[in-house]
Structure 1
């Protein structure tokens, strides 16, 4: 079970601290880190559309070569 504090409330009108640029000066109450924008132009989908069919074919070859005649009656 999670340990949650039911009495925690946050003021919705309070402004967020600015993005942190000097951590050493604000160690006690640091602001959020700056965001990192990285391009996502080479996703895993390009590799998966080739890897999955090859793996399926290899597994089918292994099945038919080793286990096709191994039927118990």
Structure 2
């Protein structure tokens, strides 16, 4: 996501729609950090006001963020 505009959740998902964003390294603290700086991609998906989202650890070195667009 470096340099790119973040995805527009409200254009991409209908209400109740679900998104999965993979290829994250599992977070170990808050706020999440990637290469010494705030992990803007993970923060976008986990903190977006139109989503209810969570990070799921899939392996010791792999996680995904899954989010559902709020109904209201």
TM range (shorter): under 0.3
* Higher RCO (CA < 8 A, seq sep 6+): 2
- Considering fraction of residues, name the structure with more strand: 2
Structure richer in helix, relative to its length: 1
* TM-score normalised by structure 1 residue count: 0.17
TM (norm. structure 2) is 0.17
